[in-house]
């Protein structure tokens, strides 16, 4: 089956693969275009996900729906735009066709690929079972289940060693995601849950953040990195820098720090240390002979296109843009947003036979939150930390949420959390408590960790 628009009377057909920041911003701009274009947005999911707040779903501060917006609703007013829920498996650049999993072929005049990245374990993919990453709604729900289940299991066991392992939480990676995750975990354990359990003192939970470089938030100015570290320490997070993880096995993290090998036994290990390109990067490398970097991202031209294929663009985290500064642009949401808008304008210019310009990223700064009243902001011309930085971080994240109802829900939820220290989305979903499932067949202090299936929890 094929959908084709390639004839002289049809409008220029732009196909966008991926409904993240880059793909959605491109679709929104093209949807309001005054030139004759038709837009088809393809995504495996029917929603856009605000990834910067995924860690708050993982720690029970927000519900998944608070940070997700249905793509059809977001683009409903764009009459030249259609949404296809499906998975692209291949691209035929000669026929200018993308091939979907359900045998549907969609032809294009211009193609925008914005499929992002996934977790990167640096050749140790076996670690993923015990140290999940955080890129999708499912990842966040899985993390939430692991974190909350650890406390529930600790409440029931009488085995002190098992209890200690359950009360240890290791976050690997000291970038923005790792820092935000560790800080929020500390607030959850040391404040939110502190009076909710009978047999355990959640204030004694250990949150250990492991970072391979010599400081947390390596891309930030050293002053802000140090401020972030001090904020984490104040929250009770143990920060280990210049520490390289060498193994994760049987719920034991082994790492080398200052020439000494250390081990931490923990039932909850969370990965925030690296990313690699989505499988679409390899497809582009194989089919279009695109140049790939060491993590599989596509090295693009100054106009975000692929060499020798001026009508195929790669944007967002999947793109390696080496034409500005001495290093590729960072994989952050503002880069993807600006690239999406740029490519939309670039295609409009080409349709109108105008000379398009090359892409230039405007860096307005970086933000990371550590905890209540604790954040760091680098606006290049000024660096902020503490309460004011926290307020700016809050405003910016609410502003960039896609739909008004998401903005309202998040503001209300954050307000409630702020004044009550409660997190209303602390729900364990799934067929079992995750920690108990992983400990199948083991008896801890008289507690039989069986895997009988209770009723499904919605």
Q: Are 330 and 297 in contact (CB under 8 A)?
A: no
Phi/psi of residue 207, each to 5°? -115, 115
Neighbours of 8 (CB within 10 A): 4
Please state, in angstroms and rounded to a whole number, the distance separating the CA atoms of residues 249 and 256: 15
Q: How far apart are CA 222 and CA 371, in angstroms?
A: 19
CA-derived radius of gyration, the chain: 23
Q: Supply φ then ψ for residue 3, to 5 degrees.
A: -110, 115
Which tokens in the block code for residue 235?
Answer: 């929250």
Take residue 103 and report the two structure tokens written for it. 């045998």
Tell me the Ramachandran region of residue 426: left when phi exceeds 0, alpha when psi lies from -120 to 50, beta otherwise.
Answer: beta
Rounded Cα distance, 189 and 196, in Å = 10
Backbone angles phi and psi of 117, in degrees to 5: -135, 170
Catalytic, 8? Answer no
User: Catalytic one among 77, 152, 155, 180?
Assistant: 180
* Pairing mode, strands 237-240 and 309-314: unpaired
DSSP labels for 342-384?
HHHHHHHHHHTT--PPPP------EEEEEETTEEEEE-SS-EE
Question: Distance (Å, rounded) from C-alpha 346 to C-alpha 194?
Answer: 54
CA 65 to chain centroid, in Å, comes to 15
- Residue 195 CB contacts under 8 Å (≥ 6 apart), including other chains: none
Phi, psi angle pair for 180, to nearest 5°: -65, -40
Classify burial at 378, counting beta carbons within 10 Å of its beta carbon; exposed 0-12, middle 13-18, buried 19 or more: buried
Sheet holding 37-43, edge to edge: 81-85, 37-43, 12-17, 110-113, 309-314, 305-306
State how far the Cα of 103 lies from the Cα of 211, in Å rounded to an integer. Answer: 44
Q: How many CB atoms lie within 10 A of CB 196?
A: 12
- The catalytic site residues sit at 180
């Amino acid at each position: 089956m094929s959908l084709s628009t390639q004839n002289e009377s049809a409008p220029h057909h732009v196909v966008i693969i991926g409904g993240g920041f880059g793909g959605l911003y491109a679709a929104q701009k093209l949807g309001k275009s005054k030139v004759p274009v038709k837009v088809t947005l393809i995504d495996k999911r029917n929603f856009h996900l605000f990834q910067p707040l995924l860690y708050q779903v993982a720690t029970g501060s927000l519900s998944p729906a608070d940070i997700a917006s249905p793509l059809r609703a977001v683009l409903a007013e764009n009459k030249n735009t259609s949404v296809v829920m499906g998975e692209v498996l291949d691209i035929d650049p000669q026929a200018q066709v993308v091939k979907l999993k359900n045998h549907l072929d969609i032809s294009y005049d211009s193609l925008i690929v914005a499929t992002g990245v996934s977790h990167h374990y640096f050749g140790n993919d076996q670690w993923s079972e015990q140290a999940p990453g955080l890129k999708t709604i499912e990842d966040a729900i899985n993390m939430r289940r692991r974190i909350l289940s650890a406390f529930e299991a600790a409440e029931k066991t009488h085995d002190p060693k098992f209890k200690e392992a359950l009360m240890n939480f290791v976050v690997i990676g000291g970038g923005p995601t790792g820092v935000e995750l560790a800080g929020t975990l500390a607030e959850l354990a040391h404040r939110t849950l502190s009076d909710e359990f009978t047999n355990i003192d959640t204030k004694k939970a250990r949150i250990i953040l492991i970072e391979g470089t010599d400081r947390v938030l390596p891309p930030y100015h050293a002053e802000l990195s140090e401020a972030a570290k001090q904020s984490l320490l104040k929250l009770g997070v143990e920060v280990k820098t210049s520490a390289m993880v060498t193994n994760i096995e049987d719920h034991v993290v082994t790492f080398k720090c200052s020439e000494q090998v250390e081990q931490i036994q923990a039932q909850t290990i969370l990965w925030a240390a690296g990313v690699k390109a989505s499988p679409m990067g390899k497809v582009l490398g194989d089919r279009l002979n695109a140049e790939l970097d060491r993590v599989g991202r596509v090295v693009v031209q100054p106009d975000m296109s692929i060499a020798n294929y001026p009508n195929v663009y790669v944007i967002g985290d999947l793109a390696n843009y080496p034409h500005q500064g001495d290093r590729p642009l960072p994989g952050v949401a503002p880069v993807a947003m600006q690239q999406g808008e740029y490519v939309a304008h670039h295609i409009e210019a080409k349709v109108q036979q105008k000379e398009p310009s090359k892409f230039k990223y405007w860096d307005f700064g970086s933000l990371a939150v550590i905890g209540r009243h604790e954040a760091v902001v680098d606006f290049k011309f000024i660096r902020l930390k503490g309460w004011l930085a926290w307020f700016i971080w809050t405003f910016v994240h609410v502003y960039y949420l896609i739909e008004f109802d998401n903005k309202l829900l998040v503001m209300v939820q954050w307000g409630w959390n702020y004044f009550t220290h409660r997190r209303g989305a602390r729900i364990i979903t799934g067929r079992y408590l995750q920690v108990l499932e992983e400990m199948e067949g083991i008896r801890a202090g008289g507690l039989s960790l069986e895997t009988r299936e209770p009723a499904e929890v919605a």
